[in-house]
A and B are shown apart, each in its own frame.
Chain A
């Protein structure tokens, strides 16, 4: 299929001027930038909330905030990081990179693409505004379990509708990405030649289309239970609060894979480039990603071991969850094999990718521990869980995103970032993330519960370390903001088209000039 593009404004081929350029743009690069910048802002907002949490937990006793506000912080921190920081960052990378990687002039449905993005700031506004409402923001945790969440004050319907808007945004973005990948590839770009970042996003998009509507349905039931007298989660009416947990985790577990699969893709782009070798086991990577996508739908109740389930259920979900480790292991071994005997150099993107492989695997191992239902009775709702998901999400998803930004920033801006500062950023972040989250494993094993602003005295020391780590982590990200801002504002050495030595053999995007022109692949490349 041959794609060449026409535009409805043949005369000016560059971007429009002023603020309206960003509001009305249909260009995948503009929209990618909008997503990335929004993501960075929300990362800082969510990060500030995390620091409120860690400040309160620095020592035992009540210091700064009241318990209700503390729980609003944990709730909003999680919702903002998941839906405001990580998912938009992936969507931004998808927008920037997928068309350039598959040789397409743009996303398949450009107007819809604009809408997917422009729903986000409104959702963010709605969510953050709940902090100022009577009764405070939702404080029942990001999982919004009833009956607790039904006690939320004026913020309740706003929180529910935020989820709805985010759902619409994600579904539309997912549709666009699937259609782009299936319909817009350059001649010769067969499915099994696609870069892994494109593959992982394709599967992620399928997950999104299946899960976001279920989440929307579940929170709709919360809304009608509270305001319209339904009994979905009310046992007196024949419903069951546990039903909500099933619906939520049918969404929630695939959702955590939405948060990690594109990271797998990014890392699979970076490691071959800096190992100067093709990716080891390409097709097994594709099949592993697909298997993970499938398995992620049939393991959800491993989040509910302690709530009460028939013994058959406990057994089934234990074994099914353990199965996921198999394709995940395939990926980890493939990354290592790619580096094996490679001519490796350690520029920043590679550092983040390697740290990802190590630390994500650690998070995967704790996941395996928790998958064992009788063992999870001990771990559940403790800081062990918090440690697990921050290893997979921060030193997993976020590390891959940051690595991806360093990898492609020269392509986007035409400028090399400051490598020395970037290395400083990397080491500060990596050391502090471990200082922050590693002790939490032990806190959890010793019985410290999550989502509680105070704790017993014996947990004091590890909590203090954890808070110190969190603050170093948070402030280190200012270095990142500075580095990115420098490149965006046209400082730094000029980047070549290839950017990284030999990179043009690893992806179509590196055969384009840097910065990538406003429109690329208007006549499609021929892929061999």
Chain B
């Protein structure tokens, strides 16, 4: 087919409705589970399975069309722009949690500690917890969570987190190196670079698992450990989830590379995965500085 210069428009898409049903069943199931109903977990499995199936057939269709040469340059630009704006929306999702961290550390906690320059003492401090002193990290004046005495140990920056920083930074280099290989049509470099990146990615997730285990079993640090535990686990947890997704994404790109799907001028999936990976990387730097270090 001579399709150059034409914008490809797919018809009769069955994937989206499957995705909607899957998401509905998953979330309704999760709600039921949270409400203590027995069918919750079953619904969650069914829903999650449906979503995975949907992703599988959706991406399969895209790959088929791409390899079939149906996409012209303009379609590729649409995909690229779409990915960039999707990542932007993810940035704002993380911004909400970073915002929560800053708000609590810089405003809410000082007020709770009675420190409101120029306007006298904050009444929450005065009437509820007049002995509370604001020192970060904290689980609040009520000593929420922590061990039996309501105490906990914060996560130090220079152990596993520092190693993980190194891992992610290195993986940023390896994925770029793989990209250079792809641009030179050097398959060996592409595949070694990608494989290393995937390994580093899963290595990161593994180490974070070790860190979480330690926090829960030895440090009295859990999701329920006041505002420190909340922000710590929600930020690093969502980030870890994104690393996992990114690593799976890269793994699929690796498999596709092994099958020779990409060429030096046609490799949107590779680029999308790499952008996603860099995004995850940058978020981590923010985490390392503001959650672990400062």
Contacts and interface: CB of A to CB of B under 8 A. Distances in A.
B140 A235 contact: yes
Nearest to B6: A6
- Residue of A214, A224, A229, A238 with most partner-chain B CB within 10 A: A238
Contact of A183 (B81, B109, B141, B226): B81
Interface string A209-220: 111111011101
Contacts of B284: none
B139 A105 contact: no
Q: Tell which of B5, B85, B103, B234 has the most Cβ of chain A within 10 Å.
A: B85
Contacts of A7: 9, 11
A42 interface: no
Interface residues of B, number: 77
B20 interface: yes
Given A183-B81, A213-B96, A217-B96, A165 B27 contact: yes
Interface in B174-230: 222-224, 226-230
A6 B3 contact: yes
B95 interface: yes
Contacts of A460: none
A9 B86 CA distance: 29
Given A119-B20, A122-B24, A171-B89, A105 B226 contact: no
A179 B84 CA distance: 10
A119 B23 contact: yes
Interface stretch (A153-161, A386-394, A412-420, A470-478): A153-161
A158 B31 CA distance: 6
A333 to B, nearest CB: 33
A106 B109 CA distance: 52
B223 A228 contact: yes
A140 to B, nearest CB: 17
| Residue with the highest number of chain A CB atoms closer than 10 Å, among B21, B138, B228, B230 | B230
A250 B103 CA distance: 13
Contact of A247 (B6, B21, B99): B99
B223 A230 contact: yes
B283 to A, nearest CB: 13
B82 interface: yes
B75 to A, nearest CB: 8
Main secondary structure of the interface of A (DSSP, over half): helix
Interface string B228-253: 11110110000000000000000000
Contact of B228 (A16, A125, A168, A238): A238
Interface string B114-128: 001011000010001
A512 interface: no
A245 B131 CA distance: 27
B12 A231 contact: no
Contact of A178 (B14, B85, B107, B124): B85
A343 interface: no
Interface in A82-140: 105-106, 108-112, 114-115, 118-119, 121-122, 125-126
Contacts of A237: 139-140, 142, 144-145, 226-227, 230
A119 B20 CA distance: 5
A311 to B, nearest CB: 7
B159 interface: no
Interface string A224-244: 100111111011111110110
8 contacts: A3-B74, A7-B9, A8-B9, A16-B11, A174-B85, A213-B96, A217-B97, A240-B112
Given A25-B13, A224-B234, A240-B112, 6 more contacts: A7-B11, A157-B31, A217-B96, A221-B100, A229-B222, A237-B226
